Amino acid sequence: MAVMANNKDAKNSMDTSKYVRYTSEQVEALERVYSECPKPSSLRRQQLIRECPILSNIEPKQIKVWFQNRRCREKQRKEASRLQTVNRKLTAMNKLLMEENDRLQKQVSQLVYENGYMRQQLQNASVAATDTSCESVVTSGQHQHNPTPQHPPRDASPAGLLSIAEETLAEFLSKAKGAAVDWVQMPGMKPGPDSIGIVAISNTCNGVAARACGLVGLDPTKVAEILKDRPSWLRDCRCLDVLTAFPTGNGGTIELLYMQTYAATTLASARDFWTLRYTTVLEDGSLVVCERSLSGTQGGPSIPPVQHFVRAEMLPSGYLIQPCEGGGSIIRIVDHMDLEPWSVPEVLRPLYESSTVLAQKMTIAALRRLRQIAQEATGEVVFGWGRQPAVLRTFSQRLSRGFNEAVNGFTDDGWSLMGSDGVEDVTIAINSSPNKHFGSQVNASNGLTTLGGGILCAKASMLLQNVPPALLVRFLREHRSEWADSNIDAYSAAALKASPYSVPGSRAGGFSGSQVILPLAHTVEHEEFLEVIKLEGHGLTQEEAVLSRDMFLLQLCSGIDENAAGACAELVFAPIDESFADDAPLLPSGFRVIPLESRTDGSGGPNRTLDLASALEVGSAGTRTSGDSGANSNLRSVLTIAFQFTYESHLRENVAVMARQYVRSVVASVQRVAMALAPSRLSPHVGPRPPPGTPEALTLARWICQSYRLHIGVDLFRADCEASESVLKLLWHHSDAIMCCSVKSLPVFTFANQAGLDMLETTLVALQDISLDKILDENGRKSFFTDYGQIIQQGYAYLPAGICLSSMGRPASYDRAIAWKVLNDEDSTHCIVFMFMNWSFM
């Protein structure tokens, strides 16, 4: 009975201890600890009880329960907040979709009406054709000479500009609401709660046009402020000057703007705009920012043409910003322009005639900028290296702007052209005023101001065929050793030091190290990456490499999503020192690849890269070959390369020769890479690559087949071919991915057939930089190391289905694999071969 009583007392004591009522002082003390450490250890909780007398009457177990409950409440609060945000977003997206559905229904009704009207006109055509009366002729003439409404004469007075502004507002609103332009959904853009928005383009209007609707977590005033600051988010905007601004009687503002934009390639002129921008608030509380060009047809003031710029026209465009219930804004963006495509070579006109390109460069870029800033404000975006988001955005803008300046080479920035060496494939420009070029980013502590010379830029453009821009740029990013020269990297890095290296020459067997990619930041949708590249062990000579420290590059990579239609892919980098200061000078170089949406057949045959200058000499479309059609013409793109170097005055000619030779070697490397990557994306009409015909390859193919027959007991190929050339050809074109791997502690690949190279998304040269453990997943590595002994002793092993990664990081699945040991003529182990069957990218 005593034992039962004691148990009962203990139970009652335990029940009463489950519910502890904390005082406000106790809660405040616990909250202070929670803000510092949400999950304290047992020792920390005991220390808390000792240090806080007000908690001395609470058991450590109850303290532990309080922290558990507090973490649970915090988690529930965050989840509730997230669900409320998702609900608001879905509600707003539902509203946008319903409005879009209403617009499409009206468009269908209009098309049905027009269809019926045209049917009626066709039925009356025969009657109208036989009617030759004078009355018919007169009536017809009256219909043909209806006067076109003319704009009333307007001047630069506030009243005249307000008249233009109100007209611009009306035309913009009709486009924003989908009535004035026939919009079609942009390829690859699907609306949803996690999408950037609803993006549409028009292929039937005058010029190029794009429209987007989306929800952003910012108030309308902040949205308008960001979008008005066009140079901060539009990478192609060189400058935007507000020449005149005055308020209107209805509470709005009228501004006269002059804007300059960069040219995308070296063989086209830059554009400028002279526009009127009108900001006002509608009766329903919506904020509107609309804009249009001022020309002779609208009246108003004008400015003379500017040298080296082509005056483009902005048709009524702008932003309609509506406040959203619960916070945020619903925004509609319209971009409508006439970029004067007649002023560029015919091969480049698709860049200026594509509404998809305009949508990617302007419309979607604006939405992404708003979304990025909104998520940064909520703390959802995590950045590395302790940098603030604004600082990292500034680095990205400086890299992009510096590369654009190098490509364009404006004379008002101090650029001038040097004479050529007789071949016009590479253009050399010099800037003898680096302080003017760098502006405020140059300070007396860096090495750039110590030079007695300036900056030299070597640039070139070429036409690529049959290789997607995203795939090429990803390869250039991942395999820098395929095109870069370590001597040139060391020379560029030396510009940041007080005593730069001498001009490097062509050195056989130059030392080359490896690169390590250190992520720094990325945008919300991962369409742009800012990263630091660490180049290990580089030096101008092997002796210097031993003593030299690692070099660093700040790199910006964008547009590597193959599904983004019309997106430009870029890889821009600049040397930096170890300190990586916020105001460090940047001298960007890099690559830009822009897809061409050509409506005609491409010039040249398949699987080739052509120098763009030679492509311009082809002449009319009638002289082009007609071998390419359909999908192949859509794979054309323009590659622009620009590399910048510092120089001293007495070494200018030497640096120019070095830069010209280096850019030509980079062009040759890119052509080789493009030709190697092209077949994995070609149409069935394009022939496969020929196998390598070296004696070593022929011998290796024979050893592979003989070892397979020895270990497995069957032939690798059903056809009976004795000739080495036939064996190599069959091995090279085998449908399964066949790869040879060295027998080392860290196995690396030494050979692969065409399917193997396609699976790894690499070339025969870059293949040797890929180790086996990099492509196998965890299960694949376990399976291989488990069966490694069986492969060496028995000669072969079957591996189960699994997943491996390409050099670009894409997962590829395979049904099963076979690994066997390859013996040479002396029966010694030469390598291990893997054959992945029925593989495909996931």
Question: Regarding predicted confidence, which is higher, 619 or 722?
Answer: 722
What pLDDT is stored for residue 120 in this prediction? 76
CB 713 within 8 A of CB 707: no
CB 468 within 8 A of CB 495: no
Q: Which candidate, 324, 406, 400, places its Cα nearest to that of 365? A: 400
Enumerate the β-bridge partners of residue 71.
none
Place of tokens 């030091």: 497
Q: Looking at per-residue confidence, does 193 or 727 come out higher? A: 727
Give me the domain span that covers residue 482: 389-434+452-499+511-538+546-598+635-677
Q: How confident is the model at residue 272 (pLDDT cuts 50, 70, 90)?
A: very high
Average the pLDDT over 513-522 and give the result: 77
Element (H, E) at 654: helix 652-677
- Check whether 651 has a pLDDT greater than 90: no
Q: Indicate whether 585 and 715 sit together in one domain.
A: no
Better-predicted residue by pLDDT, 681 or 797 = 797
Q: Which spans in 447-575 are helix H?
A: 469-478, 486-494, 542-547
**Closest alpha carbon to 400 in 234, 626, 606, 282:** 234
Please give the share of the chain, as a percent, with pLDDT higher than 90: 23
The answer on 274 and 416 residing in a single domain is no
Contacts 24+ apart (CB under 8 A), 752-756: 753/691, 754/679, 754/688, 754/689, 754/691, 755/839, 756/836
Cα separation of 595 and 200, whole Å?
Answer: 19
Tell me what the mean pLDDT of segment 474-493 comes to.
86
Mean pLDDT of the chain: 77
Q: Is residue 48 assigned to a domain?
A: no
Q: What is the pLDDT of residues 154-171, one digit of tens each?
A: 566 788 889 999 999 999
Is residue 801 a contact partner of residue 814, using CB atoms and an 8 Å limit?
Answer: yes
Residues above pLDDT 70, as percent of the chain: 77
pLDDT at 508: 35
Structure token digits, residue 308: 């080296």
Q: Which of 436, 243, 485, 461 is nearest to 348 (CA)?
A: 461
Model's pTM, two decimal places?
A: 0.65
Tell me which of 17-26, 130-139, 324-333, 573-582 is least confident.
Answer: 130-139
588 and 459, same structural domain? Answer: yes
Residue 122 has what pLDDT?
79
CA atoms of 751 and 741, how far apart (whole Å): 7
Q: Are residues 663 and 728 in the same domain?
A: no
Per-residue confidence (pLDDT) for residue 386, from 0 to 100: 59
> Do residues 251 and 306 both lie within one domain?
yes
What mean pLDDT do residues 334-349 have?
A: 91
Pair 396, 320 in one domain: no
Positive or negative: CA dihedral 355, 359, 361, 366 = positive
**DSSP H stretches of helix in 496-568:** 542-547
Rounded to whole angstroms, what are the CA distances from 77 to 81, 193, 287, 326, 342? 6, 21, 33, 17, 58
Kindly report which listed range (218-232, 258-272, 492-506, 659-673) carries the lowest average pLDDT score: 492-506
Q: What is the CATH number of the domain that holds 304?
A: 3.30.530.20
In a domain, 410, yes or no: yes
643 in the same domain as 520: yes
Q: Do residue 425 and residue 354 come from a single domain? A: no
| 701 lies in some domain | yes
CB 764 within 8 A of CB 749: no
Decide if pLDDT at 618 tops 50: no
Q: Within 10 A of 772 (CB to CB), how many other CB atoms are there?
A: 20
- Residue 2's pLDDT is 45
Report the distance separating Cα 301 and Cα 256, nearest Å: 9
Alpha helices in 124-232 (DSSP H): 125-130, 134-144, 158-176, 220-228
Quote helix, strand, coil % in the chain, to nearest 5: 45, 25, 35
Instruction: Quote the number of domains for the chain.
Output: 3
The two tokens of residue 482 are 């395929």
* Average pLDDT of the segment spanning 532-547: 60
pLDDT range class, residue 142, cuts 50, 70, 90: very low
> What's the rounded Cα separation, in Å, for the pair 379 and 364?
22
- The confidence score (pLDDT) of residue 170 equals 93
pLDDT band at 314 (very low <50, low <70, confident <90, very high): very high
Residues 6 or more apart in contact with residue 275 via CB below 8 angstroms: 256, 257, 258, 259, 291, 292, 293, 294, 314
Give the other-Cβ count within 10 Å of 136's Cβ.
Answer: 12
Q: Are 455 and 645 in contact (CB under 8 A)?
A: yes
83-92, 605-614, 728-737 — most confident range: 728-737
Same structural domain for residues 657 and 715? no
Where residue 792 sits, what CATH number does that domain have? 3.30.450.20
Which pairs from 685-689 meet CB under 8 Å and 24+ separation? 685/606, 685/632, 686/466, 686/606, 686/607, 686/632, 687/606, 687/607, 688/733, 688/754, 689/607, 689/754
What the block records as the tokens of 361 is 């460069």
Of the pLDDT bands very low, low, confident and very high (cuts 50, 70, 90), residue 440 is: very low
**Tally of CB atoms within 10 A around 61:** 10
What is the CATH classification number for the domain harbouring 561?
3.30.530
> Are 274 and 365 part of one and the same domain?
yes
Same domain, 305 and 399: no
The answer to the question of residue 472 being in a domain is: yes
Highest mean pLDDT among 227-231, 431-435, 464-468: 227-231
pLDDT for res 190: 60
Q: What SS3 class is residue 437?
A: helix
> What's residue 428's pLDDT?
92
Distance between CA 261 and CA 256 in Å, rounded? Answer: 17
Quote the pLDDT of residue 280. 95
Of 378, 400, 424, the domain-final residue: 378
Is residue 630 within a helix (H) or strand (E), and if so which, with residue range?
none
Assign 615 a pLDDT band (cuts: 50, 70, 90).
very low
Residue 134's CB is within 10 A of a number of other CB atoms, namely 7
User: Which residue is listed with tokens 């020792």?
Assistant: 43
Q: What is the per-residue pLDDT for 465?
A: 82
pLDDT at 641: 95
Band of residue 144 on the pLDDT scale cut at 50, 70, 90 = very low
Bridge partners of 321? Answer: 287, 331
Which residues in 810-833 are b (16+ Cβ under 10 Å) and which e? eebebeebbbbbbbeeeeeebbbb
The answer to the question of residue 814 being in a domain is yes
d(CA 410, CA 291): 27
Higher pLDDT, 119 or 174: 174
In this prediction, residue 338 carries a pLDDT of 93
Report residue 473's pLDDT band, with 50, 70 and 90 as the boundaries: very high
Point out the least confidently predicted range of 24-28, 255-259, 731-735, 776-780.
776-780
What pLDDT score does 70 carry?
87
The per-residue pLDDT for 13 is 43
In a domain? residue 412:
yes
Q: Residue 265: what pLDDT?
A: 92
pLDDT at residue 722, rounded to an integer: 54
Query: How many residues does the structure list for the chain?
Result: 842
Long-range contacts of 184-187 (CB under 8 A, 24+ apart): 186/210, 186/356, 186/359, 186/565, 187/356, 187/565
The answer, yes or no, to whether residue 540 has pLDDT greater than 50, is no
Q: 72-116: per-residue pLDDT in tens?
A: 988 888 888 778 777 777 777 677 777 777 767 777 777 777 777
**Residue 643: φ, ψ to 5°:** -125, 130
61 is a domain residue: no
Compute the average pLDDT of residues 569-595: 89
Residue 16 confidence (pLDDT) above 50 = no
**pLDDT value for 589:** 95
Summarised one tens digit per residue, pLDDT across range 206-253 is 899 999 988 888 899 999 999 999 999 999 999 999 999 999 888 899
Q: Is the pLDDT of residue 610 over 70?
A: no
Choose one of 337, 355, 378: the last residue of a domain.
378
- Is 288 in contact with 279 (CB distance < 8 Å)? yes
In a domain, 467, yes or no: yes
Question: Which of 340, 357, 378 delimits the end of a domain?
Answer: 378
- For residues 329 and 419, state if they share a domain: no
pLDDT computed for residue 143 by the predictor: 39
